[in-house]
């Protein structure tokens, strides 16, 4: 953490405060348990790694990876609200995808290709249709799929 000393130096304080807050909210009495400290550590580590990813000079991730993470979250939200569907048309990304990618085709294509390379989505056609259909693999998406990024928040809960 030498590249983000300012944030790392405060992490122990933040951990202690968050653990105390969890302890209070859960209605526990006495000393703060190791389990509560572990829960607080997961949250603190998630945000510390996010801070490092965004502000470190050594660990910058590419914008295509940020776009891919946001696109994966949008696709996940689409399938959560359309649970009866197994595929999503590519054209639906202009309605349900991240706003900055909706009409920027090269950037959207790069994010789709990144998710495809990582195995998060599958791309295919249906019948004689030339539309790109996207099938979302929720099990794969809940795994940490970018080396420098923290795990998705819903995998911590």
Domains and CATH numbers, the chain: 2-60 (no CATH), 63-141 (1.10.10)
Average pLDDT over residues 102-118: 88
- Evaluate whether 149 touches 49 at the Cβ level (below 8 Å): yes
- Evaluate whether 157 touches 60 at the Cβ level (below 8 Å): no
User: Is it the case that residue 26 has pLDDT exceeding 70?
Assistant: yes
What is the model's pLDDT at position 61?
Answer: 57
Across the chain, mean pLDDT equals 77
What is the model's pLDDT at position 154?
Answer: 34
β strands within the chain, DSSP E: 88-89, 121-124, 133-136
Q: What's the maximum distance between 2 C-alpha atoms anywhere in the chain?
A: 66
What is the model's pLDDT at position 57?
Answer: 67
Average pLDDT over residues 89-106: 86
Average pLDDT over residues 17-25: 93
């Amino acid at each position: 953490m030498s590249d983000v000393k300012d944030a790392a130096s405060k992490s122990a304080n933040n951990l202690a405060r968050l653990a105390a807050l969890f302890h209070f909210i859960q209605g526990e009495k006495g000393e703060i348990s190791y389990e509560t400290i572990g829960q607080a550590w997961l949250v603190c580590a998630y945000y510390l790694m996010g801070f490092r990813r965004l502000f470190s000079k050594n660990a910058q991730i590419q914008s295509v990876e940020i776009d891919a993470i946001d696109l994966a979250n949008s696709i996940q939200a689409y399938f959560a609200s359309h649970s009866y569907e197994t595929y999503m048309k590519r054209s639906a990304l202009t309605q349900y995808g991240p706003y900055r990618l909706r009409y920027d085709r090269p950037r959207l294509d790069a994010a789709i290709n990144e998710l495809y390379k990582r195995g998060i989505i599958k791309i295919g056609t249906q019948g004689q249709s030339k539309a790109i259909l996207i099938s979302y693999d929720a099990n794969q998406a809940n795994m940490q799929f970018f080396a420098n990024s923290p795990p998705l928040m819903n995998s911590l809960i």
